Structure 1
Amino acid sequence: MNERITHYRNGKIFTAAEDGWAESIVVEDQQLRFVGETVFAEILAPDAVVVDLHGAVVLPGFVDAHTHLVMMGFALQKLDLLDATDLADIQSSIQRFAESNPDSPRLLGRSWLFSALNGQHPTREMIDAVVPDRPVYLDANDVHSVWVNTAALRELGIDADTPDPIGGRIGRDPETGEATGMLYETAVMLYVWPKLAELATDQDRDTALALAFRRYLEDGVTGAVDMALGPDELHSLERALEAGKGTLPLRVAAHWLMTREDNEADNVRQVHDAIELHKRIQGPWLRIAGIKIIVDGVIDSCTAAMKEPYSDGTNAEPIWDVESLIPVVTAADAAGLQIAMHAIGDEASEIGLTALEYAIATNGDIPRRHRMEHLESITKDNVNRLARLGIVASMQPVHADPAIQENWRAMLGDYRVNRAYPWPEFTEAGAVLALGSDAPTAPHPPLPNMFVATTRRSAIDPSLAPNLPQYALPLADALAHATRDAAYSCRWENLTGQLVRGKAADFVVLKQDPFTEGADSLLTTEIAMTVVAGSVRYLDTAQNQQ
């Protein structure tokens, strides 16, 4: 028996390639040596170690096309407020969490919904009522705003004289100017994130990263695109790479996060920092792919840049206007960096596409693969424009979950809600659609994400009516967008994303068959095995003992 070769036989293997399906895969030296019929696999590898799949469905390993690894690991340790239905529920959850963590110097929570406040504006006093003596930081579900109490404002040094940063806002009492306890967009990035990073240790970050890796492997993810990399996160990844003797638990491509400065030189300087990292870090396990630019905010807090006002008559300025964006995009494009732009509002995608068009015209015909993230509200003209420019549409089905749409719809309040998250429009126009989670702004497991993608129903509360079901995707298409196309989105198409000869042996074995049992089974299907580069990185021990 040849221990270097493994034959996985008797499976229902979805390849995400033109041939569609196979019965067997043969793994040798971290790669797929053969994918096809069992009779030929046995001829090719008669001495291989044999693993009988007993008819189980095998998929290419999921590639989360948009995530935040260290942030996700930290979020998994925070108080989860997603199920809180009103202010009293939020307050009682915070109070119980405080009582169960009496020695924590500060309390961290996540995933509360604006709709839970029934039209009230979040204030520091609401949190002070249950925890007045310790700083409390509560990430909104979209992670673009943070709700804090008075003690946290004091810890951050924020008062009536603290200026709003470019592209962000400190919520203030209109009469006194005092901070109300809400921080939006770059106010989070420039005040909250640095303070919490300063208070965390390298061990804290490494523990968070390890937790994110473990949860991803348990849920069938073999690669991830980190969309907000900074120095602390990079150092944590490099420590993990060193500890793994040149490997990681799963593959990581990352985008260096840009911060909007008030002058072109400082903005472009960040591009040059990313260029040096891109040159230095280009491995099969960790690579710096390019830069991430957050062009606007989010619809839930009315910080996304829209072409028409929100239902309350207000609108938001972009974080990056086209004049500030063009020099950065042009420099990054010329250097061969991938540019990923967060663009949720229809005006933000307009700005981003204009900057990309300028860069392409300026730099000429060079290899490039840029991407736009989220695209929750976009005009049909810009869908076609995006496809014509060859831009990858990177979208997250979990953001369309009906359970979190009430406030989103109310903030727009008009015809725009009828073209929300229009995934099929992109592929019909000829664009590549890559699916991910944007964890921790949404749950990371890919199978419930595929449930939302294929039904437009809620993975949180499946009894809710579907959200524009005409935009649902066929299961095979959704899986391909979350594997093959997600790999393409970060230039891994020659490495992973499909189960074909010569590519990496990155795959996942399911306990159920969603192709025959229907979409609802995606909510209950568990992972039996996750294999990365031919190595079993997760194995369900209960399944293995049966």
Structure 2
Amino acid sequence: MTTIYRNAAVFTGSADEALQEAFSVEGGRFQAVGSEAEVREAAGPDAAEVDLGGGFVSPGVIEAHAHLAMFGESLGKVQLRDCKSLGEIQQRLIEAREANPEAPRILGVSWLFEAVGDVHPTAAMIDEVLPDVPVYLDANDLHSAWVNSAALAELGITRETPDPVGGEIARDEHGEATGLLYETAAMSYVWDFLDSTVTDEKRVEFLDSAFAAYLAAGVTGATDMSLNAADVAAIRRILARDGRLPFAITGHWLLQPSGDTAEDLAAVERVVGLRDEVAAAPGAEWFRIVGVKFIMDGVIDACTATMRAPYANGSNCDPIWNEERVFPVAAAADAAGLQIAMHAIGDRTSEIALDAIEHCIAVNGERERRHRIEHLESVADTTIERMARLGVTASMQPVHCDPAVLDNWKSVLGDERAETGFPWQKFRSAGVRLALGTDAPTAPYEALPNLYIALTGGSAIDPSLPPYHPERVFRPAEALSALTAGAAYAGETDGVNGRIAAGLRADFALLDVNPLEAEADRLLTARVQQTFVAGESAYEAR
């Protein structure tokens, strides 16, 4: 059955291509796109027709940087991103406890450093209101975990507990843990423990919730940036249950440094084996493992991103994966055909990331590669030039520079770097490929507010705030292309989706606003009317 969708403004995914009037779908794929007459001719006389009422159609958004299971789980946690003070955070936790007094622990997400004030969070701050139940609070950037004394006891953390490679347990002058765990300490102690408390059924529920939320936001594909064994098992359970996923995802296995190169190389071998196993299994068109993820440094807010010059307080931080650790492991992944994604927020870290990619080329020879660097919040001009020369994709998240969350970010830098962050315009000028995403749950997941920030530099959280350097912003077609076709290229699915073009899977979204022509602030109240995956309606607004 062929269906013609007509009377629409159709954005194909190309920033330089004119809007089209119609398209046709057959067998879950786009058959033709163009004028109504051209599409009717291609579809034939027996095609059904759907009048879209002049609506705006875009390729489905590809979430370029997702943490699907974590995002789904976060939807059920205490939400703290809008808390402006410690008192508000404490009150939110009290309310959560009162609402569920039998819960074995309280889980929260998205607190901001500036909400606590000039000092870093401590267990004592939570103990004031909840001393008897373990409390675990993920920072907004998911690079720190704030816990109370009951949680420290449940984790078994004492003054003798070692810091893992690339992480730190905050301690007082006596060596006692104060309640904040940075980077791999949060991952290896807090996340691993909490993961052990989650059932297989719950993990599937988390993914189901994530898929549903994303579909309502017009998302029809994603790259998961922190796969682990439990995530893969849950994804495969959904494939076994339904025969498919709600939309296709590609995944990067999260590699954590062990401090032993042989062990890290063995981890790459295991990823290669799992990639091949998943590729040979039923449902491979819906789930592929394409790469590995290196979290090279931390975040600027916690002063754990590695900078070329110290922070305002005189501190700096070593990378989590330094040259000695990352070079052999990256080269092994590259040799196996895995895509390399590197979280690099500090300006020094992105230099090391490119050094690693150049090492891969030197060791493994010239060939087409689609390696990528994630975030790039503070970055040197020379790094941008190197990325263009090496063909490395910049995967960035406009929601991370929402002015509502930048106060602490700017203050810890304290100099001109506070005003030169997120230089999208320099990447565009240099010809670097761009993919835009949200990194949910570190930031709001909705695609249209994310697009608003890309177009204005303003705040989707508090639109009254002045924009952060609007000279950086995108043209609407550029930004929408980076959310769709650019993200598909970065995720190695550009031969499958990300554009409205003949032969590609019919993943598209119908919006109640034309973002290429409407005032940008209209995006803050706009809605996705309908989302289609493989030509079938996957979400419809009520």
Task: Give the TM bin, normalised by the shorter chain.
Answer: over 0.9
Q: 1:259 aligns with which of 238, 251, 256?
A: 256
Quote how far apart the aligned CAs of 1:355 are: 1.0
Q: 1:173-232: per-residue Cα shift (whole Å, max 9, x none)?
A: 12x111000000000111011110100101111000000000000110000000000000
In the other structure, the counterpart of 2:98 is: 99
CA distance in 2 between partners of 1:333 and 1:11 (Å): 43
The 5-angstrom pairing of residues 107-506 of structure 1 reads 107-174=106-173, 176-245=174-243, 247-282=244-279, 283-506=284-507
CA distance in 2 between partners of 1:19 and 1:485 (Å): 15
CA distance in 1 between partners of 2:178 and 2:404 (Å): 27
In the other structure, the counterpart of 1:521 is: 522
Aligned-pair identity in percent equals 49
Contact 2:297 / 2:304 at 8 angstroms: preserved in 1? yes
Normalised to the residue count of structure 2, the TM-score between the two structures is: 0.98
Quote how far apart the aligned CAs of 1:535 are: 1.0
Contact 1:398 / 1:437 at 8 angstroms: preserved in 2? yes
Q: 2:39 aligns with which of 38, 41, 61?
A: 41
Contact 2:531 / 2:538 at 8 angstroms: preserved in 1? yes
Q: What is the aligned-residue RMSD (CA, Å)?
A: 0.9
CA distance in 1 between partners of 2:276 and 2:6 (Å): 41
Instruction: Name the SS for the 1:10 alignment partner.
Output: strand
Quote how far apart the aligned CAs of 1:278 are: 2.0
Which one is further off, 505-514 or 148-157?
505-514
What amino acid maps onto 2:2 in structure 1? I
What amino acid maps onto 1:152 in structure 2? A
CA distance in 2 between partners of 1:195 and 1:16 (Å): 42
Instruction: Name the SS for the 1:268 alignment partner.
Output: helix
CA distance in 1 between partners of 2:384 and 2:51 (Å): 45
Quote how far apart the aligned CAs of 1:462 are: 0.6
CA distance in 2 between partners of 1:221 and 1:367 (Å): 28
CA distance in 2 between partners of 1:280 and 1:456 (Å): 43
The 5-angstrom pairing of residues 10-29 of structure 1 reads 10-17=7-14, 18-29=16-27
Quote how far apart the aligned CAs of 1:516 are: 2.9
Quote how far apart the aligned CAs of 1:514 are: 2.5
CA distance in 2 between partners of 1:502 and 1:19 (Å): 18
Moved over 6 A (4+): none
Instruction: Name the SS for the 2:440 alignment partner.
Output: coil
What amino acid maps onto 1:9 in structure 2? R
Quote how far apart the aligned CAs of 1:280 are: 2.3
Contact 1:278 / 1:337 at 8 angstroms: preserved in 2? no
Quote how far apart the aligned CAs of 1:368 are: 1.6
Contact 1:111 / 1:142 at 8 angstroms: preserved in 2? yes
Normalised to the residue count of structure 1, the TM-score between the two structures is: 0.97
What amino acid maps onto 1:397 in structure 2? P
Contact 2:410 / 2:419 at 8 angstroms: preserved in 1? no
CA distance in 2 between partners of 1:392 and 1:178 (Å): 42
What amino acid maps onto 2:171 in structure 1? R
Contact 1:128 / 1:149 at 8 angstroms: preserved in 2? yes
Instruction: Name the SS for the 1:217 alignment partner.
Output: helix
CA distance in 2 between partners of 1:480 and 1:58 (Å): 13
Quote how far apart the aligned CAs of 1:367 are: 2.9
CA distance in 1 between partners of 2:527 and 2:26 (Å): 26
CA distance in 1 between partners of 2:110 and 2:80 (Å): 5
In the other structure, the counterpart of 1:9 is: 6
What amino acid maps onto 2:405 in structure 1? I
Instruction: Name the SS for the 1:254 alignment partner.
Output: strand
Unaligned runs of 5+ in 1: none
CA distance in 1 between partners of 2:292 and 2:120 (Å): 34
Which one is further off, 433-442 or 118-127?
118-127
Instruction: Name the SS for the 1:183 alignment partner.
Output: strand
CA distance in 2 between partners of 1:502 and 1:50 (Å): 19
Quote how far apart the aligned CAs of 1:451 are: 0.3
CA distance in 2 between partners of 1:43 and 1:430 (Å): 38
